[in-house]
Amino acid sequence: MTDQSTTNASKSAQGVRAGSMMLALTPWCIAAVALLVLPFIFTANSAITIMNQMAITIIFALAYNMLLGQGGMLSFGHAVYAGVGGFACMHIINNDAFFSQLPLPLLPIFGGLFGMGLAMIVGSFSTRKAGTVFAMISLGVGELIAACSVIIVAFFGGEEGISGDRTYGLPFLGVEFLQQIEVYYLIAVWLMLSAALMYLYSRTPLGRMANAVRDNPERAEFLGYSARWVRFYSFVASGFFAGIAGALFAINYEILTEENLNTTQSGIILLVTFLGGVGFFFGPILGAIVFTLVQTVLSLQTELWGFYLGIVFVVTVMFFPGGLAGLIMMHVPAMRLGKLSVLALPYLRTLGAGFVGCLGAAALIEMVFHVRHASVGDHEMTVYWTTFDSHTVLPWVLAIAATVVGFWIARATAPSLAAAWSEANTADGGQP
């Protein structure tokens, strides 16, 4: 899904275009096949629930990245557009007369339109400036609407939210969406559709102008484009796809509450998008998949998962501003040179040791937490499938040893990794 420009002189221009077309379509075909096949591999109900959640997060994160990555606008209240889209869909579901005439798969369009409508209203004054001012306004508006949700009970349903039954819709090709798997395929189709649309949007002149306005609004203005209108269009388009994500949430969970549009939700989507990487189209997809998986696994294992997440996030912002996608794409030059194998052993040494160090540090954190906050007399705890007494010396010595030795080896081997890195990125016979 990245731009691959093939410059092979022996091929005709036509052939090159067809070739790059094939190359551009490959990831999409793989994704479509994967979406089709996945429920046959992971048949458990819980797995399908996770995949649904993942797909919704992907759409939302991609919509968010239209602002953050492509438009350079940082929003702290984007959950509002998804939430309002979802709430509107819930009201449509509860409106029997209308809903019985509407096939369920068309519902997300309405969610998108409502999200877009709200984005048009808010965008009319918030897109005047990018950067800090935009971020502040998005936060304020987000807070305002989230706070309204407990006051305007008729629309937001107060604290218990509103719920409905998706199965009352007009049967679509005989499917009534009673089962989770049917909902999965509905969401999967919408995922492919909206991801493709968002990708194509980023290829349009408007999408390109959004990049230009992000990088240098003044210059874009001199070229005769209104930076404000470009930002407005990005904002509205992003609101549309966020609304679709909200509608899919409404279809999947059949309930929406204040939690769907509060600031915490907005913060999570920022986290997901940034961890995945804002610089590439597939970054947010990666972020959503990894985040949902890690959240599902870690939140069952430890109470402190938010703490680890915070650390990982701050470290990412400080040292890897490209996120996960940026880290992966860093290896493309080495791959082109065919020298990826040079990196394998140094990676194994440094990252392996670093990983042991992190495990040790995490164990230390868990033990400190247990000693401080467990009920009095409860000395037994379980870390890494091992149960032990947290008030004895041995586990502490082990954890500290793992931390210190792991990080020390990682630090000691870092120079050799750096050397291998520059070696891998240098063409044979070239200057380093």
Binding of another protein by 41 (CB under 8 A): no
Tell which one of 9, 151, 376, 394 touches another protein (CB under 8 A).
151
What stretch of H or E contains 388? strand 386-389
Half-sphere exposure of 265 (CA within 13 A, CB side): 23
Judged by CB under 8 A, which stretch of 103-111, 136-144, 237-245, 419-427 contacts another protein? 136-144
The CA distance from 121 to 145, in Å, is: 13
The CA distance from 50 to 350, in Å, is: 33
Residues 6+ apart with CB under 8 A from 192: 28, 31, 32, 35
State in angstroms the smallest separation of the CB of 408 from another protein: 21
Neighbouring CB atoms inside 10 A of 81's CB total 36
State in angstroms the smallest separation of the CB of 43 from another protein: 36
State in angstroms the smallest separation of the CB of 185 from another protein: 35
Binding of another protein by 395 (CB under 8 A): no
Q: CB nearer to another protein: give 30 or 153.
A: 153
- In terms of Cβ atoms closer than 10 Å to its own Cβ (0-12, 13-18, 19+), residue 111 is buried
Residues 6+ apart with CB under 8 A from 165: 93, 254
The CA distance from 358 to 363, in Å, is: 8
Binding of another protein by 154 (CB under 8 A): yes
Q: CB nearer to another protein: give 314 or 348.
A: 314
Tell which one of 32, 109, 197, 304 touches another protein (CB under 8 A).
304
Binding of another protein by 333 (CB under 8 A): no
The one-letter code for the residue type at 229 is W
Judged by CB under 8 A, which stretch of 194-202, 234-242, 317-325, 419-427 contacts another protein? 317-325
The one-letter code for the residue type at 143 is E
Binding of another protein by 212 (CB under 8 A): no
Sole residue written with tokens 């999200």: 115
Binding of another protein by 307 (CB under 8 A): yes
Neighbouring CB atoms inside 10 A of 210's CB total 29
Binding of another protein by 373 (CB under 8 A): yes
Tell which one of 185, 225, 313, 347 touches another protein (CB under 8 A).
313
Tell which one of 8, 372, 377, 394 touches another protein (CB under 8 A).
372
The CA distance from 304 to 36, in Å, is: 35
Per CB under 8 A, which of residues 58..87 are in contact with another protein? 68, 72, 74, 76
- Angle CA(410)–CA(416)–CA(419) in degrees, nearest 5? 135
Binding of another protein by 327 (CB under 8 A): no
Q: Binding residues for another protein, per CB under 8 A?
A: 68, 72, 74, 76, 125-126, 128-129, 131-133, 135-137, 139-141, 143-144, 147-148, 151-155, 263, 267, 270-271, 274, 304, 306-307, 309-311, 313-314, 317-318, 321, 365, 369, 372-373
